[in-house]
Each structure stands twice: as C-alpha cells, then as structure tokens.
Amino acid sequence: AQSVSQHNHHVILSEAASLELGCNYSYGGTVNLFWYVQYPGQHLQLLLKYFSGDPLVKGIKGFEAEFIKSKFSFNLRKPSVQWSDTAEYFCAVEEGNNDMRFGAGTRLTVKP
Amino acid sequence: NAGVTQTPKFQVLKTGQSMTLQCAQDMNHEYMSWYRQDPGMGLRLIHYSVGAGITDQGEVPNGYNVSRSTTEDFPLRLLSAAPSQTSVYFCASSSILAGETQYFGPGTRLLVL
C-alpha cells in the first residue's frame, strides 16, 4: 500500500520567513496530489491540487507546490508566511481507485 | 448549498455502546468517504462509497459499518465502541464534475470512555 510522508511534525517560523513543507509518497503509478489546511477550530480546506500539466501549482493565500515526479515529492511553499497561516497542513495522495492517503500532518506555528 | 454536514459535533460514549455518525451532502456528489484524524497519524480512510448502494473498505475499517442508501447520506456506525475509536471523524464528498476536490464536513469529536 502506498504511504505518504511529511517530514516535519512541527515547524515554527517568524512572520515574513519563507516556508517549505516536505511531502513524499511511495506509489509509483499515476496519482493526484493535494495539500489541505486545517486552521485552529476549523475543518479541512483545500489549499491546492495537482492532477496533470504544469508541475508548479499555485493555490490560495499565496501557497504553491511543486510536483517532482522523479523524487515522488510534492512540497508546499510560501515565500513569506503570516501569523494567520498558523494551522496544520496535510499532504494527500490519491490513487486511481479513489483510495486517498494522508500524511501525518505538519503543525505550523507563525510567531508575530 | 450547505455543503457537507455532520452530526453530532461532539459525543461521549461508554465502551460497548453503539452510535451512528451522520453525514449528508447536498452537492449531488457520487463519492463520499469517512476519515478519522488522530495525532501523529494524519487522516486515515475508514470506508468510502462511489455511489448509492456501493461501499468499500478503506485503510482502517474494523469496528465500523457504513451504508449508502441515497446519494445524499453516508452514515458511519460504531456497533460496539472501544476507547481506541476515540478520534475526530471527518466525512468528505467529491465528484468528477467538481474536479475530484474533496469537500470536508466540520468533523465529529468522539470520546469513548
């Protein structure tokens, strides 16, 4: 079975710092890739997704992610974080059979 | 549209009790799923359904039953609750027509004593 790895459990940054959250998956076939965010006290929301085409995907709130097929990676980036970006971020990988697997999540704390 | 709704928001059960977590969506999505979210484990797929009358097991199906009698509803049943089922449960729905983006409900926080 495929697995999804998020390397950082908790990241602490100051405002305006750059962010990169790692995500790697093990499945070798065609996949759809997602990043979800869960703000404190709220439910999951989609940040961005990749199905095909340009491997650099832009999402909401200034986030982007790059799909590197050779590295089985889909890292999330933001050039300058804000205090309001404090949340938990989940990477997800979907195989063709609708089986979606999530990473363990990365908690981001942005200090004002 | 209300999107994906879940009830209840919170529930406390005793070991051995049964209950049903409700999930409904008004977007006519064919695909619905249940996840549990545990610290350090991320979201794990419990059961999913690709349409009314069709269900299948996900990553962690043991201890849970589902049914899909209508497109709108996808209840999750715990027949005999165990402390290991203490978790936050999310229901989600999606549709190929919606670009397969999953829409999540607000979650149900369950505590089994």
Confidence band for B38, pLDDT divided at 50, 70 and 90 = confident
Strand, coil or helix: B60:
coil
Q: Helices (DSSP H) in B1-113: which residue ranges?
A: none
Q: Which residue in chain A has the smallest CA separation from B57?
A: A99
β-strand pairing of B108-112 with B10-13: parallel
Radius of gyration, alpha carbons of chain B = 13
Average pLDDT, chain B: 91
Residue B89, class by beta-carbon neighbours within 10 Å (0-12 exposed, 13-18 middle, 19+ buried)? buried
Q: How many CB pairs under 8 A join A and B?
A: 51
Locate B1 and state its tokens.
């549209």
The pLDDT tens digits of the residues spanning A19-46 come to 999 999 998 788 889 999 988 877 788 8
**Does B41 touch chain A if contact means CB atoms closer than 8 Å?**
yes
Which pLDDT belongs to residue A107? 93
Locate B13 and state its tokens.
């059960």
Which pLDDT belongs to residue B108? 94
**Does B52 touch chain A if contact means CB atoms closer than 8 Å?**
no
Mean pLDDT (whole number) for B46-54: 93
Asked which of B36-40, B42-46, B69-73 is least confident by mean pLDDT, the reply is B36-40
User: Are the Cβ atoms of A46 and B35 closer than 8 angstroms?
Assistant: no
Mean pLDDT (whole number) for B8-25: 96
CB nearest A43 (choices: B45, B100, B104): B104
Confidence band for A98, pLDDT divided at 50, 70 and 90 = low
List beta partners, residue A90: A36
Mean pLDDT (whole number) for B1-22: 93
Mean pLDDT (whole number) for B44-49: 92
How far is C-alpha B49 from the chain's CA centre? 10
User: Are the Cβ atoms of B50 and A51 closer than 8 angstroms?
Assistant: no
Among A43, A52, A101, most B C-beta atoms within 10 A, so best to mutate, is A43
Residues 6+ apart with CB under 8 A from B106: A42, A43, B5, B6, B9
